[in-house]
Structure 1
Amino acid sequence: MRIDPQIRALRGDPASQRLAQEELVAACDSWRSGAGAEALADLQRYGEGQPLDECPALKTLLNDQAAAFAWLAPLLDAGLESLTRNPLGQFPMRHQYSDGVAMIQLGLSGRAALTLIAYDELQQSPKSASFSAGERHELVLSGVGDFRFVDLLEERANSAAIDQRVRRLVAGETLSCDGATQTRVLERVHGRMVMLRLARTDAAQSDTRQYSLEDGRLLHRASGNRLESQREMATALLGRMGRSDAAPLLAELTREGSAHIRWQSLRECLGLDTATGFAALTQIAADASDELSSPASALRAQLLEAYPQLASLEAIPCPA
């Protein structure tokens, strides 16, 4: 294995690696307490629920290209100088690069995040758009991009009426959207484009819905609650692993949480243990006050029609 001389040198001198990282951390801390302080204080208030109009320093960044450049310059200059001297250092802000998109999270407070995003040249034909409650404000710092703006006009059980239009944005332009009914999808970047994005989730989290841009079909629905999303992934994993021993627990979980996560728990329970799952399904269907009673009754009727032998399971008490 070939080990780069610079990496070998760092392995032989851990102190130099620590000092290099401390220099990068100091550069970011200096910016946070200096040039970046006022807007970051506003970000904290905004993350706690204050309107953007009551956060003047933060609002200025999202509406004034020159002000945004002046605010970012001390951080980027100090960071690049430090990285030039310490090329193997890690920039001490959350960052990532994937498929031509680079991101640096400049600040995170409460429900709000401020992010610097750079797009390399790209051209794509989006097939779907997702909507989730929250608000987003963006400023194009440099470059040119074509965006598809999508408005959710009406939601039905498994589809939606959607309005679409394509618009080109250039440096200095801004855009804002209410994520529950509005979104935008990037279709093309001419060269390279850099944007400053401010996003805040709603205090009352709701489901994220993904619709087909071609016909408005509902493609996917996911919980907007992080804990419920984790639970949904865990239950799906149990199902894929065939863990039938988890069926009693999943039956209990059909009584807890939002309608979406309860239904997902029921589906996985049915797949892992028919008797346990069908008993839980019958219990839900029998409770007229339960918001899932109607779909549970419909599913129970479909299953009994397809598999009459399930009727013999109704005498088995639900473990939940």
Structure 2
Amino acid sequence: MQFNPEIRTDLSDPAGLQAQQAAHQAALDRWRASPPAAAVLDAFAAFAAGRPLSALPALAALFDGSDRARRFAEGLAASFLPAMAAARFGQVPLRHSHSRAAATVMLAREGEASLSLVALDGVGLALQPCAASAAFAQAEEWDVVIAGTGQGRLAERHGAPGIAVHPLRLEPGVALGRDAAREALLVDAAHGTLLLLRLRRRRPGPEPVREFALADGAPLHQSVSCARESRHEIAVALLGRMGRVDAAPLLAEIAADPALGDMLRWQALRKCLALDTRAGFLAVVRLAWASGDPLAHAAGALRAQLIEAHPILAEIEPCPV
């Protein structure tokens, strides 16, 4: 591997690299302290705390179809571009991600709310198959096009079978606010780069993200809707894989907690049963008896299957109370 001499010099100077990173942090601090950005970020904090967007004019104005979103993004660029030119090995100190078709920079995040810039690459989108499904989550979302043009679709669920799909032309000033539990934005194509500003707030509760086929509305997949429950699912799976019999009581508690998501609870129940047959079966029985619990019916069916396959389990089943 060959290194440009200038790159080699920079990499051999830790203090210089730290100074370059400090230059990027200073650029972020200047942008956050600028009056336009400070007003938006203060309003975003209130939005994250639960205030309606309509009560926060500094934030709502970004999504009214005017050029305010563009000017907001230009302020960020004006702060960072000099630092990027002067400190080439510094990293923008904002959470960011990149895929073949999209790049995202998270400008602010608090609790279940986020404010992000999303850049969609037309070449990357063209290499992907056109979306045949849409995912719906318990969240509120707003998007406004800052630059570029493209084509998309708005997919709508109304409770009845099937998904209604409406074509969209995306161009600067187009703003969409939607209930993400019923409406999903699909971007199919972009001419060059399509830049969006996106505001999102997840609603509290354990409802999963559900994916449906656009053609007939058939359910395809569901997943946990928050990072915390996703981490808990991984931990539950790991306890099962490690054979941690001592974790069975904790898994039984998770399975019995109606405040948690159904997917996490059911996985905990299955792992508890695999680790400790007695503790797991008693957890199944208690859940089957839990009137009004969304998992009671499934737990009752599992109890019957277990007793049919292993009649000895009937001997340890407690009497209903």
Category of TM-score, reference length = shorter chain:
0.7 to 0.9
CA distance in 2, matches of 1:99, 1:38: 34
Report how far residue 291 of structure 1 moved: 4.1
Aligned twin of 2:103: 102
Letter in 1 for 2:254: L
Report how far residue 272 of structure 1 moved: 4.5
Aligned twin of 1:173: 174
CA distance in 1, matches of 2:261, 2:65: 43
1:118 maps to 2:123: no
Q: Which moved more, 1:65-74 or 1:285-294?
A: 285-294
Report how far residue 168 of structure 1 moved: 2.1
* Unpaired stretches in structure 2, ≥5 consecutive residues: none
Report how far residue 298 of structure 1 moved: 1.9
Report how far residue 101 of structure 1 moved: 1.0
Q: Is the 1:134–1:202 contact (alpha carbons within 8 Å) kept by the matching residues of 2?
A: yes
- State how 1:298-309 maps to structure 2 within 5 Å: 298-305=301-308, 307=309
Aligned twin of 2:271: 268
* Unpaired stretches in structure 1, ≥5 consecutive residues: none
Letter in 1 for 2:8: R
Aligned twin of 1:280: 283
For these two proteins, the number of residue pairs brought into alignment is: 311
Q: TM-score, normalised by structure 1?
A: 0.86
CA distance in 1, matches of 2:45, 2:224: 25
- State how 1:1-320 maps to structure 2 within 5 Å: 1-34=1-34, 35-121=36-122, 122-123=125-126, 124-154=129-159, 160-204=161-205, 206-240=207-241, 246-256=247-257, 257-258=259-260, 260=262, 261-288=264-291, 290-305=293-308, 307=309, 310-316=310-316
Letter in 2 for 1:88: F
CA distance in 2, matches of 1:203, 1:291: 18
Q: Is the 1:279–1:314 contact (alpha carbons within 8 Å) kept by the matching residues of 2?
A: no
Letter in 2 for 1:9: T
Q: TM-score, normalised by structure 2?
A: 0.86
CA distance in 1, matches of 2:281, 2:208: 26
Q: Deviations over 1:132-188 (max 9, x none)?
A: 112111111122222221111117xxxx54222222222221111111211112222
Q: What is the DSSP-based 3-state SS (H/G/I as helix, E as strand, rest coil) of the residue aligned with 2:159?
A: strand
Q: Which moved more, 1:3-12 or 1:39-48?
A: 3-12
Root mean square deviation, CA, Å: 2.5
**Identity over aligned residues, as a percent?**
36
CA distance in 2, matches of 1:94, 1:19: 20
Letter in 2 for 1:69: R
CA distance in 2, matches of 1:207, 1:98: 24
CA distance in 1, matches of 2:261, 2:140: 24
CA distance in 2, matches of 1:297, 1:8: 66
